[in-house]
Amino acid sequence: TLTAAVVPAAGRGERLGPGAPKALRLLGGVPMLVHAVRALATARSVDLVVVAAPEDGVGDVVALLAEHNLLDASPGVAPSMVVSGGETRQDSVARALVSLPAEVDVVLVHDAARPLVPSTLIDAVSAAVRAGADAVVPGIPVADTIKAVDADGGVVATLDRGALRAIQTPQGFRRTVLTSAHAASDPDAPATDDAGLVEALGVEVLVVPGDEEAFKVTRPIDLVLAEAVLARRRA
């Protein structure tokens, strides 16, 4: 029985602005993807990392991981492999899932765009699945008040903030649950996370405490924060 970490990294990063695919943008001089893969590959609970790279960038990502000694296994570092991603995040994850070895029974899915994820969070999600949960997601309390709006911007409802969680990755799954959820999903209405597909099957998803440092780099301001967090870690 093995735990694999799937890393969707095939997005363009449109909200971050023009430039290279988001996963290859630099953070502390190193592509975000390298930070994310290193965090997963060195986490105690992870045995294998599978990256879904931009379709035209598979060779480049293989070379990048090799350059950072993340392709082959070494003491304390799990090996990585690279597959071609797809048009949507869901499609990218699905392509990585079909490439997993038979021995894998727990799958973590972690966005390349969350480069500073602490190893403690990775291992906590793995442990919750190993302890018997079918699906586990990290969540943090929401700071802003969240309102539902209609197409014209009119407020439809103000949600009860106390009952909301902002959901992060890694999300952890029993492999069979995640593959069933992907098989049952509608490719024309892709989900923004994997737990959403599992929920659609009627399977219970457990929320465990997330970590502020597992935030997603989405907009330019997030890169400013990520650089600051990294600098603080290195100090």
- In the window 109-148, what residues touch ligand CTP (CB under 6 A)? 111-113
Q: Is the peptide bond before 79 cis (omega within 30 degrees of 0)?
A: no
Count of residues engaged in binding ligand CTP, rule: CB under 6 A: 22
Return the range that interacts with ligand CTP (CB under 6 A); candidates 12-20, 42-50, 97-105, 152-160.
Answer: 12-20
| Residue 12 is a binding residue for ligand CTP (CB under 6 A) | yes
Output the 3-class SS for 62-103.
Answer: HHHHHHCCCCCCECCECCEEEEECCCCHHHHHHHHHCCCCCC
Nearer to ligand CTP, 22 or 38 (CB): 22
Instruction: Identify the burial level of 102 via C-beta atoms within 10 angstroms of its C-beta, where 0-12 means exposed, 13-18 middle and 19 or more buried.
Output: exposed
Among 41, 51, 52, 78, binds ligand CTP (CB under 6 A): 52
| Residue 185 is a binding residue for ligand CTP (CB under 6 A) | no
List the single partner that 138 binds among ligand CTP, Mg ion, none, CB under 5 to 8 Å by kind.
none
Nearer to ligand CTP, 110 or 174 (CB): 110
Among 25, 89, 95, 175, binds ligand CTP (CB under 6 A): 89
Q: Nearest residue to ligand CTP, using CB?
A: 11
| Residue 218 is a binding residue for ligand CTP (CB under 6 A) | yes
Gap between the Cα atoms of 162 and 167, Å rounded: 14
- Report in angstroms how near the CB of residue 93 gets to ligand CTP at its nearest: 7
| Residue 188 is a binding residue for ligand CTP (CB under 6 A) | no
- Report in angstroms how near the CB of residue 13 gets to Mg ion at its nearest: 8
Nearer to Mg ion, 11 or 115 (CB): 11
For the chain, what's the residue count? 235
Q: Which residues bind ligand CTP (CB under 6 A)?
A: 8-15, 22-23, 52, 85-89, 92, 111-113, 216, 218
